[in-house]
Structure 1
Amino acid sequence: MLKSYRFREEREADWRKLDLILTRAENSGVKALTDEDMMALPHLYRQAVSSLSVARSISLDQNVITYLEGLCTRAYFYVYGARTSMGERMAQFIRADWPEAVRGAVLSTLLAAFFLFGGAALAFFLCLQDMDWYWTIHGQSFGEIRTPDASVEALRSTIYTDPGEVGQDRLTAFAGFLFNNNAQIALFAFALGFAFGIPTAWLLAWNGIILGSMYAVFWDKGLGYEFTGWLLIHGVTELFAIVLAGAG
Structure 2
Amino acid sequence: MGQSEPALRAGGDTDIAVIGALVADPGRCRILLALDDGRALPATRLAAEAGVSPATASSHLGKLTEGGLLAVEARGRHRYYRLAGPAVARLIEALQQLAPTAPVRSLRQHTRAQALREARTCYDHLAGRLGVELMASMIERGHLTGGDGTFDLARARRDQPVGYGHDVDYTLTASGAELLADLDLHLPARRRPIRYCVDWSEQRHHLAGALGRGLLDRFTQADWIRRTDATRAIRITDLGRQGLHDLLGIDLTSP
Q: Which has the higher Rg, Structure 1 or Structure 2?
A: 1
TM-score scaled to structure 1, two decimals? 0.21
- Asked which structure has the greater RCO (Cα within 8 Å, sep 6+), the reply is 1
User: Which has the larger share of strand?
Assistant: 2
Higher helix share: 1
